[in-house]
Each structure stands twice: as C-alpha cells, then as structure tokens.
C-alpha cells in the first residue's frame, strides 16, 4: 500500500513538514509494510516557501533584514531546484509571528524587510519570483517594501513623508529616481488565497486589521490613509487599487505588487501543486492524507486540502482529511468530498492538549485512522 501524506501547516503548532512526519510516524507504528511519501503542501501563507523548496530539492539563502518594527533579524529566501526561481515568504521578514502580542503596532509596522529580501535576491541575479503574502503584521499598503526598492514618497515640499500610517496622508507624489529598474525585467507571481480589495468594508483594514492590532476606533483612520494612498497610486500609475480584487491582501501588499511590480495573482495551493508537479507524483497512490490546523467551510474555498482533493480525483484516489479540528457545524459540507474526516480534537483530546502535544496527538490519530482504513 502506498500513502501520500500532504498536510498544510497546523498553524501555531506544526509546520507542514512536521505534521507530515507526525502522520507518517503514526502510520508506521501501525504497519511497517506501508510505503509513505511525504509531499507537504501550502496555500500561499506561511510554510509555502518551505513546501516549494523541499519538493524541488532547492535551497535557502539567509539574509539580514529589518523586522516589522525595524529590528535586524535573519530571514531566508528560497531558491527552487531549477536554480532560477526565487521564493520569498513575506511572513519571514514582515510576519505577525515575529512580534509578541503586546508589540503589534500597525501604525508603524512596515514591509521594508520584505523589500530587502527582494533586493537581496535581485543582487544575486534572480528575476523570476514567487512571493507568498500571507501572515503579515502590517497594514502599510506595501509602502515599506516599495521604499526598500528605491521608491520615495514625498510631501508638498518634496520631503520624505513620515514612515508610518500617518505619513500616507501627506503623500503628494512619488519619486522613482532611485527605483530598482531590475524589476522591469522580473516576473512576479503572487501566491495568495484572498481577494479582498484595498479599502472599504471588505478591505485590508476592516477584515484583517483587528488581528494586527488595529483598534475599532482607529479603523476609519487607517482605511482613509490607504484610500489616500490608492488615490496617489491611481494618479501616478493609472491603476485603481481601491476595489481591485486581492489588493487588500497582507495589509495592501497585494496592491503594491500589482501596481509597481506588475505582479500576477495565483491561488496559493494551485501554484504550489503546479510548481511541484504534484499531480504527477501521486498517480499510483492508494490513499492520500491531507489536513490543516482547522477545517471548516472556508476549507472549500481555495485551501490546501481542496487542491489536493482536485488532483486526487483525476486518478480516483480516496482522500482522508486529518485536521487538528473540524468544525461540527461544517462537517456536512465537507463530508461529501473526503473518504474519511478525522479531528485530533475530540471527546478524549481537548483543544489545549491538541495544541501543546500536537505531534504526539497527531501521530496517535494517524495510527487510529490507518487501523480503521485497513479494517
């Protein structure tokens, strides 16, 4: 029997690779005769770079950058096995997990470090980019990234505006005299799983701002700042980001990549499956086990398990969903798509235990699931 193990990350506990290894351990405890192949996946958020580099036998390049609050850190970018494609994960330089809860400050949090990663890759000769924009700590419209790549935002006196959300109100024009023109010859694929516009009730601030520290009474101020920024971009670049689908992703990073780097959106999981030739690798499998930290109705809309399922259906391979938690009210929606659905959290395992003992709990559920599959 051949089983492909393809989970996404279990956010807050296990990376996709760690989850895959935990599932494999449980299966091997049940039977030493089963062939297991680890093909962890991702949907464009955290862990996407790792999944792509691992699947293509690529490598990582460490770079010194600034974190969202301007502190020096070491962050990697990935190089795929073809040695020509660079993968940048925004979360590694500008991610919310880089900050303690009491440090979240979207008024000053910047994407500058992500721009530094892009510049470092350009310096090494890369022109083919995949940029994964999930998990950000920022709501700066991607302005920090643009600054790192040479763009100046100037006020009515020709001076640089303040590097904060407040400074966006003072922008009168853009100065491209130091812009990194190597970007003109670059290809930018944006891995993303949301299509929110930049501003408005479904925009970056309204939907994602609260988790980054935007207080309810500040939301309108932030949204108006991004609206002014969008007005400037429209005047300078002829691109209207206000209601552009995806422009609000990662606090407006999506819009900056579209307008200034000519980025093209790709649903994260589809890009990962395509780059890794996933469908070709699974053709002779007997089962596929996929999963994520939490499965609910959102899983049906572009999340990793559905991408895996789409490939599996082409070869009539049954797929088991093994997730940290499966929302009870959404089980009926999910059930028609999977051979089995298994949640680590159960009557016997609390959410707290499942989080603190994630690897062992997942291995145990994988063991039990495999025993059930083989009868």
pLDDT score of 373 = 80
Q: Which of 122, 136, 223 is nearest to 179 (CA)?
A: 122
CATH number among 3.90.1170.40, 3.40.50.300, 3.90.1510.10, 3.40.50.1820, domain 48-268: 3.90.1510.10
2-41+280-373 belongs to which homologous superfamily?
Answer: Glycerate kinase; domain 1 (3.40.50.10350)
Residue 223 token pair:
């949204």
Give the bridge partners for 153, in sequence order.
Answer: 174
pLDDT of residue 309: 96
With CA atoms as reference, report the closest residue to 61 among 70, 72, 49, 71.
49
Q: What is the pLDDT of residue 45?
A: 79
pTM for this model (two decimals): 0.88
Encoded tokens for 292: 């994520």
CA 331 to each of CA 155, 288, 328, 335: distance values in angstroms, whole numbers, following the listed order: 54, 19, 5, 6
CB 170 within 8 A of CB 157: no
Beta-carbon contacts of 259 under 8 Å, excluding residues fewer than 6 positions away, are 233, 237, 239, 241
Looking at residue 375, what is its pLDDT? Answer: 63
* Separation of alpha carbons 49 and 54, rounded Å: 8
The Cα–Cα gap between 374 and 367 comes to 11
Task: Return per-residue pLDDT of the chain as tens, 375 residues.
Answer: 999 999 999 987 998 999 999 999 999 998 888 999 999 999 887 889 998 998 899 999 999 999 999 999 999 999 999 999 999 999 999 999 999 999 999 999 999 999 999 999 999 999 999 999 988 999 999 999 999 999 999 999 999 999 999 999 999 999 999 999 999 999 999 998 788 999 999 999 999 999 999 999 999 999 999 999 999 999 999 999 999 999 999 999 999 999 999 999 998 899 999 999 999 999 999 999 999 999 999 899 878 999 999 999 999 999 999 999 999 999 999 999 999 999 999 999 999 999 999 999 999 999 999 988 876
CA distances (Å), origin 243, targets 230, 249, 255: 10, 12, 10
Segments making up each domain of the chain, as ranges: 2-41+280-373, 48-268
Residue 352 buriedness (CB in 10 A; 0-12 / 13-18 / 19+): exposed
Beta-strand relationship, 187-192 and 264-267? parallel
Per-residue pLDDT at 139: 97
CB 171 within 8 A of CB 155: yes
d(CA 273, CA 283): 14
Phi–psi pair at 272, nearest 5 degrees: -60, -45
């Amino acid at each position: 029997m051949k089983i492909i193990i393809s989970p996404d990350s279990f956010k807050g506990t296990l990376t996709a690779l760690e989850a895959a290894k935990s599932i494999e351990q449980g299966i091997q405890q049940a039977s030493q005769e089963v062939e297991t192949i680890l093909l962890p996946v991702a949907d464009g958020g955290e862990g996407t770079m790792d999944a792509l580099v691992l699947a293509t036998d690529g490598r990582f390049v460490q770079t010194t950058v600034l974190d969202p609050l301007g502190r020096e850190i070491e962050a990697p970018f990935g190089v795929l096995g073809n040695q020509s494609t660079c993968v940048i994960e925004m979360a590694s330089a500008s991610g919310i997990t880089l900050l303690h809860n009491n440090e979240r400050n979207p008024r000053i949090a910047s994407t500058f470090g992500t721009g530094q990663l892009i510049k470092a890759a350009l310096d090494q000769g890369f022109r083919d980019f995949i940029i994964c924009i999930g998990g950000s700590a920022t709501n700066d419209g991607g302005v920090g990234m643009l600054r790192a790549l040479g763009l100046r935002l100037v006020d009515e006196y020709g001076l640089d505006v303040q590097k904060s959300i407040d400074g966006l109100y003072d922008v009168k024009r853009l100065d491209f005299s130091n812009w990194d023109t190597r970007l003109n010859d670059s290809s930018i694929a944006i891995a993303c799983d949301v299509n929110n516009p930049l501003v408005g009730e479904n925009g970056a601030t309204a939907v994602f701002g609260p988790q980054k520290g935007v207080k309810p009474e500040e939301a309108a101020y932030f949204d108006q700042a991004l609206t002014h920024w969008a007005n400037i971009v429209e005047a300078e670049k002829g691109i209207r980001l206000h209601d552009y689908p995806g422009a609000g992703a990662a606090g407006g990073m999506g819009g900056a990549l579209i307008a200034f780097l000519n980025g093209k959106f790709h649903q994260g999981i589809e890009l990962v499956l395509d780059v890794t030739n996933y469908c070709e690798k699974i053709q002779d499998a007997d089962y596929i086990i996929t999963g994520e930290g939490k499965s609910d109705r959102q899983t049906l809309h572009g999340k990793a398990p559905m991408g895996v399922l789409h490939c599996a259906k082409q070869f009539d391979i049954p797929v088991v969903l093994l997730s940290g938690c499966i929302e009870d009210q959404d089980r009926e929606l999910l059930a028609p798509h999977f051979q089995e659905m298994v949640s680590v959290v159960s009557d016997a395992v609390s959410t707290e235990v499942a989080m603190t003992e994630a690897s062992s709990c997942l291995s145990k559920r994988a063991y039990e699931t495999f025993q059930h599959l083989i009868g």
